[in-house]
Structure 1
């Protein structure tokens, strides 16, 4: 047993080490006096042998450039750009990006010059991000933070007056294809008015944020996954064991056995719902939403699901420490009444964890992305109801136990099938981490290839062509195995056209967006998309069109589904392209803001560090909503002209939303 635990621990460390590779670039930061009140922030990079790091000045649409961002600048102001100095970058043609790209090997030095205005209040803090690659892989642009105060300034530095604001005289137009007349210049907008809350106006218009449908969706998903969990090898054998316990406990009193079984089922529901409530209370709904879209969390969850999946496939046995379940068994034997029943329910939760763990984890993550405080509890409520029903019913009608199939090789087959499904689902979490950080590693093409291979092998396994540890020889193919294999192989064939850009609408919410596809025969996308709120609103005022604001997310399942099913519709696309200015704001965008912004929210000071923080705050502050997707149509003063729209794949409903907003705007 100790050997198995050791192997399991080593494998877990291996998986996590692959998910979080050691940094191949180490940084040292310092300040150097350059005279006349100027200092240089020097960033020295040491690069591991065999790796190269990209320059700070790269062409557009290339790899991630080495860059700097400041969270805080006090008593100083920046001069010029963050750039390499001393050693020159090696510039070569990169066939992947089809452009000349500068890289550094072994070491590099970058500088950012600053003018010191006030030595006593001098304070700078921020981070430098860089991407390194070798012949096989690339690291993500992980932030390397720096912080300096007055004591860190060289003693020879003297403060100077801030630079005078320069007046820029517009150059004479040189491009005759551009209209430089005043009427064509961007319109100034009142930013304070654009950020003014319109929650009451939306209520008057009759907006619905779709919370009820989201909760129902989470409940139904929990119910379905609860029934699926009953077929796992960890839960199925517990049905006759626990029900027999109740019958032996109350042989002479039938009603007592029924009552005990009902209390036991209620205890199961209480345990799982309490788990959902505790997690929400600890993290909060919005924090869970942010956590569910963070790269670190998704990489950790991908690693855990991957670990569970290969355990289901027979690589090793993954169980909780025996001491935990032994303690619970002792509690069951030493107690009586309601407490004994509760401990029996808790024992079920512990024993079944190795099978229900990945299901519960996925369910909680899915619930967290809804942005509702009740979502995790509602999801767990549905899961617990499905899990508790058989235990209660078999206690009431014990003769049904005789009709249950005995545990055997069929349960191992269920476990293997579950392993394939969990492995496929784990790709979703890796995709969310990839999308939210813009790494571009798991594109839609690669994702589809992995799924096609997985479901093809699953189909062959069900036909008996592939065997795993614990499987018995199959004398003949049963009808259920045949039907499942047909479904699996058919699903793999259905995914094939997606490699050439087919929308695959039924699974579009899970797949990476079409924008990550390397090859598409028929590309359907909106003509113009603005990703900055104020810029888009200025263009709307300039063109005289209403603004269609969309709050989405890289990790938002329903957002991708709406993009692939509704926004690609010919009528919807035509209306948006011709009649609206489309503004897409991603609430989980990890790009840092130039400076940290502090805002008051519900009596607390909240720091907005990333672009996603800014748009998430805008959605909460202005519209009183925090779930995605969320659509709202605004006039040029930032006022809504139609009820807000949430997730709904009904194209006619979305068209009506657009036409209503357009009609009210023209009034």
Structure 2
């Protein structure tokens, strides 16, 4: 009765059923001479799927699962002539595996020559072991067996269902878990991104840029020029407002090339955000920006550019002339605005918002720069309330230099996390920030000076206040150097390296150093003991997109902290070829009548996934509590960091509400 219920479960077709079968194998035989034959094995693949070569990559690292053919010749039946032959295929360097790989698409035929020794031999038995992938997932390795008759007929050997024993049935039953709550979590539409936060951040960046010595003195000069040089007051106000609008438009236009990249490949910005070379490049650029802000040199665009634009603005009247004036301001102020824009660009590329997010950020930045010109044109009396230019502008610039220096190490930390160099463990990162913070405090209180600083007569109230706030922040950072409960620094969650990436932490045995259970029952016991929800990870050693998820999504500080501290991670490898003991092996009867021999750990977990979740692709993620209640919908390859983080947090919320 139990086995009948198990069989019915597998036959059911629900909204969760996603079992894929994108490959079809056929076998045949051709006679060459009186006693030599050629066995042919043809695979037809659905569009987008690929099958790997039979030649195993010689490496100690993780590599794709090669296709394997097994034959069973004996001295008195037949013998193999040479090796199995495959066609040319596609060869390319794979960035995830970091090696050259070979694979096949659409249709491929493998051949094996044999010599029949026993003329009475009627057929040959052979089997093929393989795994296939597309751009988002891989399927668990499968074995297909064939009986190939010398008469030309060939059929798949599906196994003998009548040979299933009570022991086989009991072991099959043991794989089934009674999952509750699937009906509560149908497929959800991806939430549309909100760009309000990045717009506000860009606006704040623009306000900061206004306070730099490259921009601030230009406000009264430019507004006065428009209001006094025009034929009438209304014309002057119109030109000043138009000038502000063009400033806003210019910065939005700067983001348009990234939309072109996004249209060519929607994931390109997200992919380069995790690129180690790019993060190191940003680290170097931000260090250069910081040194420039400290006053040791100026980052300027060629003077000929601004001179040429200035001459055009003077010679061309009307709206076009106002536009060239706005463009001249953007170029002349680059030495101050460039580093802030670089921070905005780097922050946008380090998230998953793509080009639209960058446009909103640049729009906020441009609006903040443009507002003063429009407002002071409408209310010219406000100009009298502006503070006079002076040494305080240089103070703002140096403080920005310290901030740029701190941000630089964030990008170096991103590269370090992806490559696991161990250079910037959490405590080292925080220690560097403490040193930078102390340097900023000493500067604000006049203990150190930079090239453009004049003699310090008296500390202003604003400078003292900022110095005290910075000192308080440094004191807040100090517990982050310890191995105590106060080391979390929740106000900075997601910015320093995660807690697990610590000089105090012992090495773990899961992806990215996470503690992961590789046996389901063992993991469930741990979850019950810890009163934590379960993150069930169906993965594979040779699963390309599993590695992409781990390296590009799981490595995000907030996600990896959640996986480490708030979930019990169970990673089941469906391609693990470690043999089960004789006592653990069994035959599993599939719904289509085929018999699957469960001989390896991978066989067991692949069958476990298909049986309980009607899905056979990897990566595949399930959130459960220790009583097997679903906590959220299942999900698969999800390169969007925000979407995956929301999915994890929803599971935690549902677990805590029980």
For 1:509, the equivalent position in structure 2 comes to: 494
Question: How far apart in 2 are the matches of 1:311 and 1:477?
Answer: 24
SS in 1 for 2:191: coil
Question: How far apart in 2 are the matches of 1:379 and 1:128?
Answer: 31
Are the equivalent residues in 1 in contact too, given 2:220–2:383 (CA < 8 A)?
Answer: yes
Unpaired stretches in structure 2, ≥5 consecutive residues: 1-48, 62-81, 105-110, 115-124, 130-142, 144-167, 178-182, 538-547, 574-617, 622-633
Per the TM alignment, residue 657 of structure 1 is displaced from its structure 2 partner at its CA by 3.0
Per the TM alignment, residue 467 of structure 1 is displaced from its structure 2 partner at its CA by 0.8
For 1:444, the equivalent position in structure 2 comes to: 426
Show CA shifts across 1:528-578 (max 9, x none).
86599xx989988xx9998647997767799534666x7788xxx4xx44x
SS in 2 for 1:484: helix
Structure 1 residues 625, 339: closer, same or farther in 2, change over 3 A?
A: farther
Larger relative contact order (Cα-Cα within 8 Å, sequence gap ≥ 6)? 2
For 2:386, the equivalent position in structure 1 comes to: 404
Matched length: 456
Per the TM alignment, residue 116 of structure 1 is displaced from its structure 2 partner at its CA by 6.1
For 1:275, the equivalent position in structure 2 comes to: 254
Structure 1 residues 291, 233: closer, same or farther in 2, change over 3 A?
A: same
For 2:275, the equivalent position in structure 1 comes to: 294
For 2:55, the equivalent position in structure 1 comes to: 77
Q: Does 1:221 align with 2:201?
A: yes
Are the equivalent residues in 2 in contact too, given 1:306–1:422 (CA < 8 A)?
Answer: yes
SS in 2 for 1:316: coil
Structure 1 residues 626, 165: closer, same or farther in 2, change over 3 A?
A: closer
Q: Does 1:658 align with 2:655?
A: yes
* Pairing 1:233-632 to 2, within 5 Å after superposition: 233-250=213-230, 252-284=231-263, 285-368=266-349, 369-501=351-483, 502-519=487-504, 548=535, 560-561=557-558, 573=566, 576-577=567-568, 627-631=640-644
Question: How far apart in 2 are the matches of 1:419 and 1:259?
Answer: 36
CA RMSD, aligned part only? 4.9
Question: How far apart in 1 are the matches of 2:321 and 2:252?
Answer: 19
Question: How far apart in 2 are the matches of 1:199 and 1:328?
Answer: 62
Normalising by the residue count of structure 1, what TM-score does the alignment of the two structures yield? 0.58
Per the TM alignment, residue 329 of structure 1 is displaced from its structure 2 partner at its CA by 0.7
Unpaired stretches in structure 1, ≥5 consecutive residues: 1-70, 84-114, 130-141, 150-157, 168-179, 190-197, 586-612, 633-643, 648-652
Per the TM alignment, residue 277 of structure 1 is displaced from its structure 2 partner at its CA by 3.6
SS in 2 for 1:117: strand
Deviates more, 1:117-126 or 1:342-351: 117-126
Are the equivalent residues in 2 in contact too, given 1:452–1:495 (CA < 8 A)?
Answer: yes
Per the TM alignment, residue 584 of structure 1 is displaced from its structure 2 partner at its CA by 12
Higher radius of gyration, 1 or 2: 2
Question: How far apart in 1 are the matches of 2:453 and 2:83?
Answer: 72
Structure 1 residues 128, 226: closer, same or farther in 2, change over 3 A?
A: closer
Structure 1 residues 555, 344: closer, same or farther in 2, change over 3 A?
A: farther
Show CA shifts across 1:296-328 (max 9, x none).
111111111111111111221211111111121
Are the equivalent residues in 1 in contact too, given 2:515–2:564 (CA < 8 A)?
Answer: no
Question: How far apart in 1 are the matches of 2:91 and 2:559?
Answer: 42
Are the equivalent residues in 2 in contact too, given 1:432–1:555 (CA < 8 A)?
Answer: no
Structure 1 residues 536, 221: closer, same or farther in 2, change over 3 A?
A: farther
Question: How far apart in 2 are the matches of 1:559 and 1:304?
Answer: 22
Normalising by the residue count of structure 2, what TM-score does the alignment of the two structures yield? 0.58
Structure 1 residues 567, 490: closer, same or farther in 2, change over 3 A?
A: farther
Question: How far apart in 2 are the matches of 1:339 and 1:537?
Answer: 72
